[in-house]
Amino acid sequence: MVHISHTLEDIVLTRRIPAMIFTGFQESSHWRQETQRYRALARVAQQVCIFAAKPLPHDSTVDALQVALSGDDPLRQEWFVVIVSTTFSVVLCGQDRLEASTSEATRQFDTFWTFEPQIVAHVLDLLEIVIDHYRPDRLGQFQAARQNYPPHPPDAEIVTAFTTELIRFEERLNQELLRAEAQARAGAERFRQVVQSINDHIYVYAFLADGSPQQIYVSPNWISLTGYPLEKATVDWDFWPSLIVPEDR
């Protein structure tokens, strides 16, 4: 989603298109990572509005509005960008699946985007309700700015540029994936060659939180060293220690 949102925002930045921009971050820390980008957008756009969890900085200019969402606000589960301009209108929205992830980069979202004017207008209606709830002092400014940018079908050239960039990005991702897969295969082959070149037995186990062992790897040399099938080492944790003579245990 980061690349898609940046692609849409870059259309405004590079072409210097006057616009209204609304974006929602689940955490204020995510917003702070994008501060410089949105300062640049604020210099081009007529209105920039940021929705995120507390704490948020004070409004930096009269055209930059921050809306600090409460902890239980449903918008805290969404990441969105809405752009309304004289040449295109778009909504990009992703809802967090709230699944366990190891990092920010691996978080999963159900995502959609559309240039459909009716949907953009409906989203603006919903955001107006949110602004009225949290920042009634700025509602009039939002409504006045909105009158200048009624959503309408996008310029065909804008859609073409956006789609072309997404295709290029997908191609770059595929190339990176192919390189990673090739590197993984090469690494696996090097490991196989190392294992086959030595006479010792290699095994890797991990111990779980409850103290039980979990097998990670057992080298094929087990068979030639012990004469027993590999299943003996992989199924019965107590079997291989029984092969050690008592005085060496």
Q: Residue 83 maps to which CATH number? A: 3.30.870
171 and 224 within one domain? no
Q: Which helix (H) or strand (E) holds 78?
A: strand 78-85
**pLDDT (0 to 100) of residue 59:** 52
**pLDDT (0 to 100) of residue 128:** 94
What is the average per-residue pLDDT within 1-25? 86
**Domain housing 166:** 156-196
Q: Percent of the chain beyond pLDDT 70?
A: 89
**pLDDT (0 to 100) of residue 62:** 45
DSSP string, 54-70: SP-PPPSSTTEEEEEE-
Q: Note the pLDDT tens digit of each residue in 21-61.
A: 998 877 666 666 677 787 888 888 888 888 887 766 555 55
137 and 16 within one domain? yes
104 and 28 within one domain? yes
69 and 89 within one domain? yes
191 and 168 within one domain? yes
Q: Which helix (H) or strand (E) holds 230?
A: helix 230-235
pTM > 0.85: yes or no: no
226 and 148 within one domain? no
CA distances (Å), origin 41, targets 6, 89, 120, 156: 11, 16, 20, 23
Q: Which of 120, 154, 188 represents a domain boundary (last residue)?
A: 154
Domain count, the chain: 3
Q: What are phi and psi of 211, to 5 degrees?
A: 90, -5
In this structure, which amino acid lies at residue 193? Q
60 and 33 within one domain? yes
- pLDDT above 80: residue 232: no
What is the average per-residue pLDDT within 191-202? 76
203 and 189 within one domain? no
93 and 212 within one domain? no
102 and 8 within one domain? yes
144 and 41 within one domain? yes
Q: Note the pLDDT tens digit of each residue in 66-85.
A: 888 888 888 888 889 999 99
71 and 121 within one domain? yes
Q: What are phi and psi of 229, to 5 degrees?
A: -65, 155
**pLDDT (0 to 100) of residue 76:** 81
What is the average per-residue pLDDT within 164-174? 84
Q: Which residue has the higher pLDDT, 108 or 126?
A: 126
CA distances (Å), origin 70, targets 74, 97, 125, 130, 193: 9, 20, 20, 11, 57
Contact present, 219 and 191 (Cβ < 8 Å): no
What is the average per-residue pLDDT within 5-31? 82
Q: Average pLDDT of the chain?
A: 81
In this structure, which amino acid lies at residue 119? I
- pLDDT above 90: residue 95: no
